[in-house]
């Protein structure tokens, strides 16, 4: 296959998932260990190929409804009659809260602009990707798109300018995949329902999650990974109250914390998906990785100094 028309990366939410939907701050970093490549070639029909579908674009499965809509709308808007085949090759785990849907929306639109040599900027890409994200997720906060588009760590608050927030800490981040699909939409809707019932515990938890995210920002600025670990654990206890964790996530979190992690939490939408842990140094991180290896389907290790900026 020829050169990809675009390469995008996923995201890792360090802190602030779910409370970010309610205007609280969140911190997220690009997931540079994996990527999503989009290839386009001329074809007899409009076709789409990805890990779980290969066929005509107009018959793509429900999971691809967002992508299909923006591809068809893009071709219509730019009056393109030429038929194409779009191939998506991705190493970002699918539906694990790691931003694979945002990466595919951004990647496909960027690839279309590049393939047809249409002048564009990031705002144009964002406009299309937002449509697809809304079809998939309902009413997302926008944090996934902001990281995928900028490929930088961000301190994010809905309806505010994005703050690029470089992370330069001594320590390591371990990411482990439960192997179970996350259920972001279900988790987001569950919280919404509890709030509609004016559950005081939920309102209080979301406020406290906002405060924890602010404290996390300061601990990162002060290079205080021990405090950040404690904040991770406190944030996870709030996510439990919000009922967005599950048994497998809790199992990995327990193993990780028992093997020297400074703190652990789920990342992304929850109810499946991935968890993250903090480690003070490489040896400690290695011990955590080893302890998770037989229990998780995949484990990644990041240096918080350089890789995640
Ligand atoms: C999903 O990556 C993050 C959530 O906070 C949802 C959102 O921000 O739209 C769970």
**Tens digit of pLDDT for each residue in 178-204?**
999 999 999 999 999 999 999 999 999
CA distances from 232 to 102, 136, 157, 299 (A): 25, 28, 19, 18
Give the confidence band of 309 by pLDDT, cuts at 50, 70, 90: very low
Radius of gyration, alpha carbons of the chain: 19
Whole-prediction pTM: 0.95
Cα gap 5→121, rounded to integer Å: 15
Rounded mean pLDDT, 68-85: 98
Give the confidence band of 136 by pLDDT, cuts at 50, 70, 90: confident
Give the confidence band of 307 by pLDDT, cuts at 50, 70, 90: low
Buried/exposed code over 69-83 (b: 16+ C-beta within 10 A; e: otherwise):
bbbeebbeeeeeeee
Summarize pLDDT for 259-272 with one digit per residue, the tens: 999 999 999 999 99
Q: Known catalytic residues?
A: 144
Q: Is the CB of 101 under 6 A from ligand 1?
A: no
Q: Is the CB of 188 under 6 A from ligand 1?
A: yes
Cα gap 50→101, rounded to integer Å: 12
Atom of ligand 1 nearest to the CA of 26: 5
pLDDT at 308: 46
Rounded mean pLDDT, 39-43: 98
Instruction: Tell me 169's DSSP state.
Output: -
* Closest residue to atom 8 of ligand 1, CA basis: 141
pLDDT at 294: 94
pLDDT at 106: 98
pLDDT at 139: 86
Mean pLDDT of the chain, nearest integer: 95
Helix (H) and strand (E) counts for the chain? 9, 11
For 69-100, give the secondary structure using H, E and C.
HHHHHHHHHCCCCCCEEEEEEECCCCCCCCCH
Cα gap 97→207, rounded to integer Å: 22
CA dihedral 113, 119, 124, 125 (to 10 degrees): 30
Q: Ligand 1: which of 25, 184, 265, 276 to mutate, judged by most atoms within 8 Å of the beta carbon?
A: 184
Find the angle CA(157)-CA(73)-CA(89) to the nearest 5 degrees. Answer: 70
Cα gap 182→98, rounded to integer Å: 10
Cα gap 191→180, rounded to integer Å: 21
C-beta atoms surrounding 243 within 10 Å: 14
Q: Do residues 194 and 204 lie in contact, with contact meaning Cβ atoms separated by under 8 Å?
A: no
210 or 137, which is more confident: 210
Cα gap 245→237, rounded to integer Å: 10
Q: Do residues 27 and 14 lie in contact, with contact meaning Cβ atoms separated by under 8 Å?
A: yes
pLDDT of 274 > 80? The answer is: yes
SS3 of residue 139 by DSSP? coil
Q: Ligand 1: which of 10, 14, 21, 274 to mutate, judged by most atoms within 8 Å of the beta carbon?
A: 21
Give the confidence band of 2 by pLDDT, cuts at 50, 70, 90: confident
């Amino acid at each position: 296959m020829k050169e990809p028309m675009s390469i995008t990366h996923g995201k890792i939410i360090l802190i602030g998932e779910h409370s970010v939907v309610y205007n609280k701050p969140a911190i997220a970093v690009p997931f540079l260990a994996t990527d999503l490549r989009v290839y386009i070639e001329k074809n007899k029909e409009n076709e789409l190929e990805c890990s779980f579908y290969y066929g005509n674009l107009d018959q793509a499965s429900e999971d691809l409804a967002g992508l299909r809509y923006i591809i068809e709308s893009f071709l219509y808007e730019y009056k393109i009659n030429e038929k194409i085949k779009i191939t998506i090759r991705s190493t970002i785990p699918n539906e694990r809260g790691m931003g694979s849907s945002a990466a595919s929306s951004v990647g496909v639109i960027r690839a279309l602009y590049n393939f047809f040599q249409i002048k564009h900027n990031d705002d144009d890409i964002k406009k299309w990707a937002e449509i697809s994200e809304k079809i998939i997720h309902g009413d997302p906060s926008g944090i996934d798109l902001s990281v995928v588009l900028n490929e930088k760590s961000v301190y994010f608050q809905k309806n505010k300018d994005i703050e690029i927030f470089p992370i330069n800490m001594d320590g390591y981040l371990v990411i482990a995949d439960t192997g179970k699909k996350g259920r972001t939409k279900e988790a987001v809707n569950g919280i919404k329902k509890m709030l509609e019932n004016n559950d005081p515990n939920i309102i209080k938890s979301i406020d406290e999650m906002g405060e924890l995210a602010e404290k996390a920002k300061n601990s990162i600025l002060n290079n205080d990974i021990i405090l950040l670990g404690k904040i991770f654990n406190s944030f996870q206890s709030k996510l439990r109250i919000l009922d967005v964790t599950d048994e497998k996530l809790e199992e990995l979190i327990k193993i990780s914390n028992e093997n020297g992690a400074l703190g652990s939490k789920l990342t992304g939408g929850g109810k499946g998906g991935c968890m993250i842990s903090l480690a003070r140094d490489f040896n400690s991180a290695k011990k955590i990785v080893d302890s998770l290896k037989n229990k998780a389907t995949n484990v990644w290790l990041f240096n918080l100094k350089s890789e995640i900026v």
